[in-house]
C-alpha cells in the first residue's frame, strides 16, 4: 500500500492534475494507492477571505465566491470536457451549498471557528471530488472516501487534535475492506466526536496523509508538492538554495517548526515512531530525487542541514527585580499562555533570572499582554515586575542540524556573519540538544540574513558582491566593461559572484536586484528613471542585499557627503573621488569610524596613484606593525607631463596647453599647477600613516608667480604664463646647470608634509620618471635606508578603473 499526498499547486490546474493522475496510474499498477489531496491552490485562502467579507457585511464576498466557482468549473471542464454533465451538476450543488453558507454568515454577521472550519472544508471536498470523478471517467479503479468519516478529533476548531484510537480503528477497518485500487481522500478535514466538521490546521493535508500512513503502517509516505524536496532554505527567498537529499526526523521537525512550510510540522510525529520514511517529491518534476526523511544515518553531510525562518513574530519580555530567585514566575507565565491557547515558539531566560523573553505569533500578542499583565497585576502594582514589553515586526531564523552539537564554533560563525552584515540580533536561543540555534531579528532583515547565512554555510566557496555604481563617465564606463569581461573568471577562479545591481550617471539610473544585464547597459541606462543621489541611496538601502558596495566614480562633493549614510547601512564605499578623504580631519576620521562600527569597508586606493597599490601597501605596512618615517613621492601625472616636455626650445604656456588638450590636467589647470591636487594626495597618505593633519598644515611653496596665482580665470591664467615665460625658463636653466631634472615632489617627514618643485639630481629614483608615471618611496622602520618603491602609470581611465575594481574585490575579502 502506498500513501501519496498532493498539495495545492499539484492540484491547482487541469495540467497538474493530469500529472497527478499519471503518477497514480503508474503506482497503482503494482500496488494499492491512497491519495490524499489538498484544496486547489489558493482556494483555502479565498474561502477564508469570502467568509471574512461576509461577516463584515461586505457584499464583495459574492465576487470572491464567483471566483472560487469559476476556478473549479474551468479545471473540471478541461479535465472532462464532453461528458461532464452529471459531474458538473454535482459540482454546482456543492457550490450552491457553499454559497448558502456564505449568505448565512452575511446575514448573521458572524463567523465562529466552527463555521470557519465548515467553510474551508469545501476546498478539499471539491478538489477530491473532481479528481476522483475524472479518474473514474478515464477508467481507473478509483473511489473517493470522505476522510471526515475516518479522522476523529476533539472540538478544537481550526486546529483540532486527533483522537488516535478511534481514528486508527476507522482507517484500518475501512481499508481492510476497500476493494478499489486507488482511494482519493480529502486532506485537512476531519470530524469531532459530536460529528461537527473540524480541520487539522493550515497546511494540514500533509498531516492527514501521515495519520493514514501510520495507521496502516505502510512502507513509506510520499508528500508531492511544487518543489523538489526540503531545501537548504526557503527557495523563494534564496535563489541558491538546493534540495537536501537526506534528513533525520528531528531535523525535518525542527526545520518545519521553524518555518519550512513544505512540511506541516505535526506530520512527522505519527510516522516517526513506526520508522516510516517520508519522501518529499516534486509533482512537476517527478524524476528529481527530492528529500528522504528517515532514521538512516546521514553519511558525511554538512553539520548545518538547513536554515529556516518564521515571520510575524512578536517578542515579549517579562522582567523585574522581583523575579530573581523566586520560583513560580515562569510557571505562572506559561500557564497563562497555555490557558489562552497561545503557542510559544521561542523562549530565552537570562541566567540572572531577571527577565524571561519569548516569541509568539504577532496575532496573539495583544491577547498575551492582556492576560499576562492581569496574572501579574499584583506584582506589577508593587513594582516587583514591569508590565510586559511587546516588540513586533520580528522574525525568527534558525540553523538546524543533528550534527551541530559535535562541531564547534557554528553559533560563532552564525552571529559573526549576521553582525558583518549589520543585522541586529534581538534574542538568541539554543536548545540543549543543539539541533537548533535560533535568533530573533527584524523582519526587514530576513532575506539578507537567509542569503548571507546560506552563503556562509552552504556556498562556502562563493561570495556574492552586490555593486552600485554612481558616475559612469570615462572611468566608470571602463569599470563596467572590465567587470563585464572578468565576471566569468571571478566566478570560476576566485569564487566571487559580482553583480552590478545599480547604475547611475547624472541623468538616469537603473536597478536590478538579480544583477543588471551588462550586454546593453548603456541603452538600458539611457532609458532608466531620473537620477537622484538620494534616490540611489534609498534604493540601495531598501534592497538590503548582503555585501552591498557603493562605488563613487564622480568628483562630486554631494556624492561624497552621502558616504556616511551608506556606511551606516553597512554598505561598503569604494571611491576614486578624493573629496571626502582630503576634507576636514573630523570628517575623514568619522567615516573611518563608521566603517569600523558597521563592518563596511571604506576603500579609496585610486585617490593616490590611480591603480597603483599605494594605499593598500601603506595599510599593510602599518597593520603589520611597521612605522612610516618618511614618504617621498611624485604624485602628479599632469605636472610630470609638463616638466618632462618643458625645455629651452618649448614654451611653458604651450606645454601646459598641450597637457590640458591631452586630458592630463583638470579642466582648470590651476588645480594641478598650484600643487593643491598633490597636497591632497600626500595629506591622504599622511593620514593613512596615522597622522592627524589637515590640508592647511601642508607647506606648499608654489613655483608659479604671484600673477599666475592671482589670475581670476583660466584664460587670464594662460595669459600670465605667456608674460612670465622668463620665470619658467629660469627654473629650467637652473636645473640644467645643476645637471638636474625638475620634478614636483610631495614629502612627508616626521609628521610634517610639504609639496613643491625640486631639482632632482642624476641617479635619484625620481630623475628618470617618464610620461605620466607616479612614484612613491616609503621609508619605514623596516625599510630605513632602501625605501620600498611603488612606481608606474599614475593616471588614465583604464588604470583608475582597474584600481576601483581591485578595491571592489578587496571589500569581498574583508
Ligand atoms: P503544498 O501546497 O504542496 O502543500 P506548500 O506551499 O505548503 O505546498 O509548501 C511548499 C512551499 O514551501 C514551497 O513552494 C516553498 O515556497 C515553501 N518553502 C519554505 N521553506 C522551504 C524549504 N526549506 N524547502 C522547500 N520549500 C520551502
Ligand atoms: N488546504 C489547506 C490549507 O491551505 C490544507 C493544505 O493545503 O495542506 O491550509
Ligand atoms: Mg503544504
Pocket around ligand 1 at a 6 A CB cut-off: 7-10, 38, 203, 225-227, 230-231, 233-236, 260-262, 306, 308
List, in sequence order, every residue forming a beta bridge with 779; answer none if it has no partner. Answer: 630
Q: Quick one: pLDDT at residue 177?
A: 96
pLDDT in tens, 481-528: 999 999 889 988 888 999 999 999 999 999 999 999 999 999 999 999
For the segment 235-261, the average pLDDT, to the nearest whole number, is 93
Longest dimension (CA), the chain: 117
Q: How confident is the model at residue 545 (pLDDT cuts 50, 70, 90)?
A: very high
Protein residue with least CA distance to atom 4, ligand 1? 7
The residues annotated with a catalytic role in the active site are: 681
Q: What is the CATH number of domain 2-218?
A: 3.40.1160.10
Asked if residues 443 and 394 have their Cβ atoms less than 8 Å apart, the reply is yes
Task: Tell me phi and psi for residue 503, to 5 degrees.
Answer: -145, 135
20: CB partners within 8 A, 6+ apart: 6, 10, 11, 35, 37, 131, 224, 283
Neighbours of 354 (CB within 10 A): 15
Q: How far apart are CA 501 and CA 541, in angstroms?
A: 12
278: CB partners within 8 A, 6+ apart: 210, 220, 221, 222, 223, 252, 263, 267, 268, 271, 292, 293, 294
Average pLDDT, the chain: 93
Nearest to 751 by CA among 812, 690, 814: 690
Q: Give the distance (Å) from ligand 3 centre to CA of residue 263.
A: 6
Secondary structure of residue 177 in the 3-state scheme: helix
Instruction: Specify the long-range contacts of residues 490-496, CB closer than 8 Å, at least 24 apart.
Output: 490/809, 491/462, 494/809, 495/461, 495/462, 495/463, 496/462, 496/463, 496/464, 496/465, 496/809, 496/812
Asked if residues 162 and 190 have their Cβ atoms less than 8 Å apart, the reply is yes
Q: Quick one: pLDDT at residue 298?
A: 60
Asked if residues 148 and 174 have their Cβ atoms less than 8 Å apart, the reply is no
Q: Quick one: pLDDT at residue 291?
A: 96
Stated length of the chain: 814
pLDDT in tens, 728-759: 999 999 999 999 999 999 999 989 999 999 99
Q: Quick one: pLDDT at residue 460?
A: 64
Secondary structure of residue 361 in the 3-state scheme: strand
Q: What is the CATH number of domain 614-795?
A: 3.30.360.10
Is residue 78 pLDDT above 90, yes or no?
Answer: yes
pLDDT in tens, 634-659: 999 889 989 999 999 999 999 999 98
Q: Give the distance (Å) from ligand 2 centre to CA of residue 435.
A: 28
Looking at all shown ligands, the one closest to residue 203's CA atom is 2
803 membership: H or E segment, kind and range: helix 797-813
Write down the domain spans for the chain: 2-218, 306-457, 463-604, 614-795
Protein residue with least CA distance to atom 6, ligand 2? 203
Q: Worst-scoring range by mean pLDDT, 325-329, 442-446, 555-559?
A: 325-329
| Closest atom of ligand 1 to CA, residue 255 | 23
Looking at all shown ligands, the one closest to residue 187's CA atom is 2
Q: Quick one: pLDDT at residue 10?
A: 96
**Which residue out of 13, 225, 398 has the highest number of ligand 1 atoms within 8 Å of its CB and is therefore the one to mutate?**
225
CA 814 to chain centre: 18
Nearest to 91 by CA among 126, 137, 138, 134: 126
561: its cell numbers: 557627503
**Which residue out of 186, 188, 264 has the highest number of ligand 2 atoms within 8 Å of its CB and is therefore the one to mutate?**
188
Is residue 402 pLDDT above 80, yes or no?
Answer: yes
Is residue 432 pLDDT above 70, yes or no?
Answer: no
Q: Give the distance (Å) from ligand 1 centre to CA of residue 23.
A: 20
Q: Is pLDDT larger for residue 430 or for residue 341? A: 341
Looking at all shown ligands, the one closest to residue 308's CA atom is 1
Q: Could you tell me if the CB of 39 is within 6 A of ligand 2?
A: yes
503: its cell numbers: 547604475
Q: Quick one: pLDDT at residue 772?
A: 79
Q: Worst-scoring range by mean pLDDT, 515-519, 522-526, 610-614, 664-668?
A: 664-668
506 DSSP assignment = S
| Residue linked to cell 501579574 | 376
Q: How confident is the model at residue 297 (pLDDT cuts 50, 70, 90)?
A: low
Protein residue with least CA distance to atom 10, ligand 1? 262
Helix and strand numbers (H, E) in the chain are: 29, 30
Is residue 794 pLDDT above 80, yes or no?
Answer: yes
Q: Could you tell me if the CB of 203 is within 6 A of ligand 2?
A: yes
Q: Give the distance (Å) from ligand 1 centre to CA of residue 229.
A: 9
Q: How confident is the model at residue 300 (pLDDT cuts 50, 70, 90)?
A: low
Q: How far apart are CA 218 and CA 210, in angstroms?
A: 10
Neighbours of 481 (CB within 10 A): 14
Q: Quick one: pLDDT at residue 328?
A: 82
110 DSSP assignment = -
Q: How confident is the model at residue 422 (pLDDT cuts 50, 70, 90)?
A: confident
Q: Mention the CATH class of domain 463-604.
A: alpha beta
Q: Quick one: pLDDT at residue 321?
A: 83
Q: Give the distance (Å) from ligand 2 centre to CA of residue 320.
A: 42
Nearest to 480 by CA among 428, 518, 424: 518
773: its cell numbers: 608615471
For the segment 200-208, the average pLDDT, to the nearest whole number, is 97
190: its cell numbers: 476531519
Secondary structure of residue 48 in the 3-state scheme: helix
For the chain, what percent of residues have pLDDT higher than 70?
98
| Closest atom of ligand 1 to CA, residue 231 | 24
Q: Give the distance (Å) from ligand 2 centre to CA of residue 401.
A: 27
Q: What is the DSSP string of 379-396?
A: HHHTTSSPPPEEEEEEEE
CA-only gyration radius of the chain, Å: 36
> Which CATH number fits the domain 306-457, given the four candidates 1.10.10.60, 3.30.2130.10, 3.30.70.980, 3.40.1710.10?
3.30.2130.10
Tell me whether strands 628-634 and 740-749 are parallel, antiparallel or unpaired.
Answer: antiparallel
Q: Could you tell me if the CB of 205 is within 6 A of ligand 2?
A: yes
| Closest atom of ligand 2 to CA, residue 204 | 8
| Closest atom of ligand 1 to CA, residue 206 | 4
Is residue 813 pLDDT above 80, yes or no?
Answer: no
Secondary structure of residue 223 in the 3-state scheme: strand
Looking at all shown ligands, the one closest to residue 209's CA atom is 2
| CB burial of residue 220 (10 Å; 0-12, 13-18, 19+) | middle
Amino acid at each position: 500500500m502506498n500513501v501519496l499526498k498532493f498539495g495545492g499547486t499539484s492540484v491547482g490546474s487541469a495540467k497538474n492534475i493530469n500529472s497527478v493522475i499519471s503518477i497514480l496510474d503508474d503506482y497503482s499498477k503494482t500496488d494499492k494507492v491512497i491519495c490524499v489531496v489538498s484544496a486547489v491552490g489558493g482556494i483555502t485562502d479565498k474561502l477564508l477571505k469570502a467568509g471574512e467579507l461576509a461577516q463584515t457585511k461586505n457584499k464583495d464576498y459574492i465576487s470572491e465566491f464567483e471566483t472560487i466557482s469559476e476556478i473549479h468549473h474551468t479545471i473540471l471542464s478541461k479535465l472532462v470536457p464532453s461528458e461532464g454533465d452529471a459531474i458538473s451538476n454535482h459540482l454546482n450543488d456543492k457550490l450552491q451549498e457553499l454559497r448558502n453558507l456564505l449568505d448565512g454568515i452575511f446575514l448573521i454577521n458572524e463567523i465562529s471557528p466552527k463555521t470557519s472550519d465548515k467553510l474551508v472544508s469545501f476546498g478539499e471536498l471539491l478538489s477530491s471530488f473532481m479528481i476522483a470523478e475524472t479518474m473514474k471517467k478515464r477508467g481507473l479503479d478509483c473511489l473517493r472516501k470522505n476522510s471526515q468519516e475516518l479522522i476523529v478529533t476533539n472540538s478544537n476548531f481550526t486546529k483540532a487534535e486527533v483522537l488516535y484510537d478511534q481514528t486508527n480503528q476507522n482507517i484500518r477497518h475501512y481499508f481492510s475492506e476497500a476493494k478499489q485500487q486507488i482511494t482519493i481522500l480529502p486532506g485537512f478535514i476531519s470530524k469531532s466526536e459530536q460529528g461537527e466538521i473540524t480541520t487539522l490546521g493550515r497546511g494540514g493535508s500533509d498531516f492527514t496523509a501521515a495519520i493514514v500512513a501510520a495507521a496502516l503502517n505502510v512502507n513509506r509516505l510520499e508528500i508531492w508538492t511544487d518543489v523538489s524536496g526540503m531545501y537548504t532554505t526557503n527557495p523563494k527567498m534564496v535563489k541558491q538554495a538546493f534540495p537536501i537529499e537526506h534528513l533525520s526526523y528531528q531535523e525535518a521537525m525542527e526545520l518545519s517548526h521553524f518555518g519550512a512550510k513544505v512540511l506541516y510540522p505535526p506530520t512527522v510525529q505519527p510516522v516517526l515512531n513506526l520508522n516510516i520514511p517520508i519522501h518529499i517529491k516534486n509533482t512537476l518534476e517527478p524524476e528529481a530525487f527530492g528529500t528522504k526523511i528517515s532514521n538512516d544515518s546521514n553519511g558525511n553531510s554538512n553539520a548545518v542541514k538547513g536554515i529556516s525562518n518564521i515571520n510575524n513574530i512578536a517578542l515579549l519580555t517579562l522582567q523585574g527585580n522581583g523575579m530573581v530567585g523566586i520560583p513560580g514566575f515562569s510557571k505562572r507565565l506559561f500557564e497563562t499562555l497555555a490557558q489562552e491557547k497561545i503557542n510559544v515558539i521561542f523562549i530565552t531566560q537570562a541566567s540572572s533570572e531577571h527577565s524571561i523573553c519569548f516569541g509568539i505569533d504577532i496575532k496573539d500578542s495583544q491577547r498575551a499582554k492582556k492576560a499576562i499583565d492581569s496574572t501579574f497585576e499584583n506584582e506589577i502594582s508593587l513594582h516587583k515586575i514591569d508590565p510586559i514589553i511587546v516588540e513586533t515586526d520580528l522574525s525568527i531564523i534558525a540553523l538546524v542540524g543533528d550534527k551541530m552539537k559535535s562541531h564547534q564554533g557554528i553559533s560563532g560563525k552564525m552571529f559573526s556573519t549576521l553582525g558583518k552584515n549589520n543585522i541586529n540580533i534581538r534574542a538568541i536561543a539554543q536548545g540543549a540538544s543543539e539541533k537548533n540555534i535560533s535568533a530573533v531579528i527584524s523582519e526587514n532583515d530576513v532575506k539578507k540574513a537567509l542569503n548571507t547565512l546560506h552563503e556562509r554555510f552552504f556556498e562556502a566557496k562563493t561570495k556574492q558582491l552586490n555593486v552600485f555604481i554612481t558616475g559612469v563617465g570615462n572611468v566608470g564606463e571602463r569599470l563596467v566593461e572590465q567587470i563585464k569581461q572578468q565576471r566569468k573568471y571571478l566566478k570560476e577562479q576566485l569564487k566571487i559572484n559580482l553583480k552590478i545591481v545599480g547604475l547611475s550617471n547624472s541623468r538616469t539610473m537603473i536597478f536590478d536586484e538579480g544583477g543588471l544585464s551588462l550586454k546593453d547597459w548603456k541603452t538600458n541606462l539611457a532609458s532608466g528613471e531620473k537620477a537622484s543621489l538620494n534616490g540611489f541611496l534609498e534604493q540601495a538601502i531598501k534592497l538590503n542585499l548582503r555585501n552591498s558596495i557603493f562605488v563613487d566614480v564622480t568628483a562630486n562633493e554631494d556624492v561624497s557627503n552621502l558616504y556616511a549614510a551608506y556606511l551606516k547601512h553597512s554598505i561598503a564605499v569604494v571611491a576614486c573621488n578624493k573629496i571626502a578623504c582630503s576634507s576636514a580631519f573630523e570628517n575623514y576620521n568619522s567615516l573611518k569610524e563608521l566603517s569600523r562600527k558597521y563592518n563596511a569597508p571604506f576603500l579609496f586606493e585610486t585617490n593616490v596613484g590611480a591603480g597603483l597599490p599605494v594605499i593598500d601597501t601603506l595599510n599593510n605596512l602599518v597593520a603589520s606593525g611597521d612605522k612610516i618615517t618618511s614618504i617621498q613621492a611624485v604624485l602628479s601625472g599632469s605636472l610630470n607631463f609638463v616638466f618632462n616636455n618643458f625645455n629651452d626650445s618649448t614654451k611653458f604656456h604651450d606645454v601646459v596647453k598641450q597637457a590640458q588638450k591631452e586630458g592630463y590636467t583638470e579642466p582648470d589647470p590651476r588645480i594641478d599647477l598650484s600643487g593643491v591636487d598633490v597636497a591632497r594626495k600626500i595629506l591622504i597618505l599622511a593620514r593613512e600613516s596615522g597622522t592627524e593633519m589637515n590640508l592647511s598644515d601642508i607647506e606648499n611653496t608654489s613655483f608659479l608667480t604671484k600673477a599666475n596665482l592671482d589670475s581670476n580665470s583660466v584664460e587670464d591664467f594662460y595669459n600670465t604664463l605667456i608674460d612670465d615665460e622668463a620665470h619658467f625658463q629660469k627654473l629650467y636653466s637652473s636645473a640644467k646647470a645643476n645637471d638636474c631634472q625638475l620634478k614636483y615632489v610631495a614629502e612627508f617627514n616626521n609628521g610634517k608634509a610639504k609639496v613643491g618643485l625640486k631639482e632632482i639630481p642624476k641617479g635619484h629614483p625620481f630623475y628618470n620618471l617618464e610620461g605620466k608615471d607616479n612614484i612613491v618611496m616609503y621609508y619605514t622602520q623596516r625599510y630605513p635606508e632602501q625605501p620600498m618603491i611603488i612606481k608606474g602609470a599614475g593616471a588614465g581611465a583604464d588604470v583608475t578603473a582597474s584600481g576601483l575594481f581591485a578595491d571592489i574585490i578587496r571589500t569581498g575579502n574583508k
